[in-house]
Amino acid sequence: MYKVTIILVIGMLILPFSLIAQTIAITNVSDSVFCIGDSLTVSFTATGNYNANNVFALQLSTADGAFKQFQNIGSLKSTTSGIIHVQIPQINDGTGYRLRIMSSNPIEISPDNGSDITVWNNSYDPNSNFWCDNLLFPTQTGVQYSLSDSVDFTNIKWTFGNDATPAEYNGNTPPLVYYSTTGKKITSVEYTPGNKCVPNIKVTITVQVYDCISKVDSSAIVIDSTINADIEDSSFYNQTIWIMPGVILSLDGADNSIFYLETGSNLTIFNPYYCLFYLRAGASLTIFDPFECACVMSDLASLSDSASYYGLVDTLVCPNIQFDYTSAPQKGIGILQSLGYLSAVNDKNSSNELKVIQYQDEGRYEITATGDNINNLIIYDLLGQEIYRNDYQGKLSVDLSSSPAGCYLLSNSCCGKISNVKLLKL
């Protein structure tokens, strides 16, 4: 009788203790927005009995808050409530992450923390949010700049480069920007991204503005008849290339570069990106698969655009295309002067005058020269080769009937001055 009573009493004491359920609940998360590598502290309560070797694991969901695939990002060996300290691992950006805790012995899983957690990745590409509708455009066309509407930006300030209207703007999407001069223009934008993990950002972009008059830059690479295989194997990036008369050149690629083709030059180029080509009368360009490229050319130049996928975005024909040599490299100036393509001084300062009468029958010209002791009347073909010379002062007749059709240059010199007139043979 006594034995049965003792067993019943002990059983009644043990049974309630063994039936107490294990529960886990997250009570606090240290923040709701984190950067990669930030410290994260999670507090939790654990009720019920856990074996001595139990481990509480902190689990992170995928960015959509689901735990079909999760990461164990921290743990605590314990049988009671506690705090888990971890660092945010390298994961993708997301605004819907959740946390939960799982015990190992016995196995029990908590509900998630109950609110979304945002994680920003530190690897941020600012250029992905900077947009421009065209990198090459003529002066009379405006260009539209903007930042992506899908990202939260603040403190936005734009600066549009030389000779721009407007010069500056504050805000996400500025009005159309116009440039009064040609050449490369550097636009910059400074802003604070919504990503708290990235500091203030400044991004720049270079655009090309073109017209029928263009200035040859002082940094231009002069390509003359001494070109070699190293030049032809080059792929030019962000450079200005000035090709002299008579040069035949083939290039495999160029990026964000400007090409000036003088009369009688011949360029074949493959796969240029964001390039601008200027062609004087008698220049020839053959271009294969250009991407976002434009061409400004004389109506007497030759252009062949072979495009499998893309083509030239614009071709501007200028009957009076002009190159401004004010800042051009002296090497190129010397070559053009030696060929008679360029005056030693400004033609407007010369008192020498040439008057040309073309007869009805093709190829015959009457040339009258007036001025101070004019001599050395010379005619050059498009390759810069001398095909005619006469030192006679006054009036003379020239017969080019046996010469091929095209543009020729008639040059006369006196007292260190040179005057030039173009002859067009049809």
CATH class of 126-210: mainly beta
Q: Where are the domains of the chain?
A: 21-120, 126-210, 214-324, 343-425
Q: Are 419 and 352 in contact (CB under 8 A)?
A: yes
Number of other CB atoms surrounding residue 164 within 10 Å = 20
Nearest 10 degrees: CA dihedral of 277, 278, 279, 280? -170
The answer to whether 21-120 and 126-210 have equal CATH topology is: yes
Which pLDDT does position 354 carry in this prediction?
60
CATH class of 343-425: mainly beta
Which pLDDT does position 155 carry in this prediction?
81
CATH of region 21-120, choose from 3.40.30.10, 1.10.3720.10, 3.40.190.10, 2.60.40.3880: 2.60.40.3880
Q: What letter represents residue 139's amino acid?
A: T
Q: What letter represents residue 157's amino acid?
A: K
> Closest Cα partner for 110 from 156, 153, 59?
59
Which pLDDT does position 25 carry in this prediction?
96
Give the bridge partners for 417, in sequence order.
414
Q: Is 306 helix (H, G, I), strand (E, B) or coil?
A: strand
Lateral strand order in the sheet of 258-261: 221-223, 240-243, 258-261, 276-279, 294-297, 314-317
In sequence order, the 6+-apart residues with CB closer than 8 A to the CB of 8 are none
Written as tens digits, the pLDDT of the chain (426 aa) is 445 444 444 444 444 444 568 999 999 999 998 988 899 999 999 999 999 999 999 999 999 999 999 999 999 999 999 999 999 998 988 899 999 999 999 999 999 999 999 998 766 665 556 777 677 778 778 888 887 655 567 788 999 988 999 999 998 788 999 998 887 888 988 887 766 777 777 888 888 888 888 888 889 999 987 655 445 556 688 899 999 998 999 898 898 899 999 988 999 999 898 899 999 988 999 999 898 888 999 988 999 887 666 678 888 898 888 888 888 888 888 888 777 776 433 333 344 556 666 554 556 777 766 555 455 677 777 666 777 777 655 666 777 777 777 677 777 655 445 566 667 665
pTM, whole model, 2 decimals?
0.51
Task: Determine the Cα–Cα distance for residues 67 and 72; give it in Å rounded to an integer.
Answer: 11
Task: Determine the Cα–Cα distance for residues 24 and 38; give it in Å rounded to an integer.
Answer: 25
Number of other CB atoms surrounding residue 63 within 10 Å = 18
Query: Of how many residues is the chain composed?
Result: 426
